[in-house]
Amino acid sequence: MLYLIKNADVYAPSHLGMRDLLIAQGKIVAIDKKIDLPASLATTIDAAGKKVTPGLIDQHIHITGAGGKDGFLSMTPEIKAQELIACGTTTAVGLLGTDGTARNIRALYGKVCALRQEGLSAYMYSGYYGSDTVTITESIQSDMVFVAPVLGFKIAISDIRSSYPTAIELVRKLREVRVGGLLSNKKGIMHVHLGDLPTQMDVLFELVQQYQFPIAHISPTHVGRSKSLFDQAIAFAKLGGSIDITTGASKYTDPYLSVLYALDQGAPLAKMTFSTDGHAGLTKTDAQGNAIGFKKAPINENLLQIQQLIRQGGLPAELALQLVTTGPAANLGITNKGHIAVGVDADLCWFDQDWNLCDVFANGEPVMREQKILLQPAFD
């Protein structure tokens, strides 16, 4: 389908102003102040001055569910494509959590493929919390080479549920992900869950400073779990590392406030990202802090925190948007996502003047119009 979008106030995420966009075969093929085509050639949609941004990227989300720390009943359900669309997420990176036994890496791959069939973009990490990395093939390296959606692997440190991996163990795994990336033309990253133990990010600094491993391949997440951990993460970002702030869980303060604090401390915005940890299993508590049940981490907090950054934090939209567009795209090494330019995938979010989400395009097709989801579920 050929679409001509007229009168869009484009944030690429840099602010381009009023532009027309031409979309063909899922790609943006032209951007200009004025594009005119015969009505018979393209479906014309008037954006009517709405703010048009890249589709949002969530680089850490439990698309097959997670949880289970309080028994099988506490395992969270998988995520539906419609839920992602509703909060503007057009690219999701799925992963396993604590559980690499009841949750299966091949089932995760299947869910990635299902989301792709539904028109979204989906990727995944091999591995889980443990150092006995679960893979689809026989190794991290071959997963990188032979399984197209695999961008790297996940592991946990500084957590009582981790395997307490040493620097030399991590270096050997990093070698696999880096060589696998070279062979498959992927960036390759080690995505690192950070727990709340006092060791914090110490082993990651050891990898960079003692073993001199390129920092670009190390991707720590949950860095906003505590103030002291976040201060260490700021130092990591100043060395050139990407730091991922969780919006749906594991946070000592509102994530948008963490961003403003990091900027005040001199951390580069280009090295900060948001991800939700959506559908992680959380404990529901009463007013006295007593456990009363289970809940799942929300998947819409990336959108809400960006809105907070713009509305309450006063950060210009073209900067705030980087946390869920160009930032994660650069960290993941997916160059066809996270920005609006000729030749990239036509993943788009449309906002009104108050930054409320109205419309979503995924891979060049409208999947939400005027806050109504167009994609029908595979099962009722």
**How far is the CA of 348 from the CAs of 19, 50, 321, in angstroms?**
14, 12, 12
* Residue 357 three-state SS: strand
For residue 237, count other CB atoms closer than 10 A to its CB.
23
pLDDT for position 70:
80
Is 2-53+337-373 a domain of CATH 3.40.50.170?
no
Residues acting as catalytic residues: 277
DSSP 228: H
Q: Is residue 172 predicted with pLDDT exceeding 90? A: yes
State which H helix or E strand residue 348 sits in.
strand 348-351
User: What is d(CA 257, CA 251) in angstroms, rounded to the nearest whole number?
Assistant: 11
| Contact between 69 and 40 (Cβ < 8 Å) | no
Q: Which fold has domain 55-332?
A: TIM Barrel (3.20.20)
| % of residues, the chain, pLDDT over 90 | 90
pLDDT for position 289:
80
Mind listing the pLDDT tens digit for each residue in 285-330?
788 888 778 889 999 999 999 999 999 999 999 999 999 999 999 9
- pLDDT band at residue 140 using 50, 70 and 90 as cut-offs: very high
Average pLDDT of span 215-241 = 98
pLDDT for position 338:
97
Mind listing the pLDDT tens digit for each residue in 2-60?
999 999 999 999 999 999 999 999 999 999 999 999 888 999 999 999 999 999 999 99
Q: Which amino acid is at 320?
A: A
- pLDDT band at residue 281 using 50, 70 and 90 as cut-offs: confident
pLDDT for position 380:
74
- pLDDT band at residue 378 using 50, 70 and 90 as cut-offs: confident
Q: Is residue 67 predicted with pLDDT exceeding 90? A: no
Mind listing the pLDDT tens digit for each residue in 87-126?
999 999 999 999 888 889 999 999 999 999 999 999 999 9
Q: Is residue 283 predicted with pLDDT exceeding 90? A: no
| Contact between 29 and 71 (Cβ < 8 Å) | no
Unique residue bearing structure tokens 């190794």: 139
User: What is d(CA 158, CA 161) in angstroms, rounded to the nearest whole number?
Assistant: 9
- Report domain extents, the chain: 2-53+337-373, 55-332
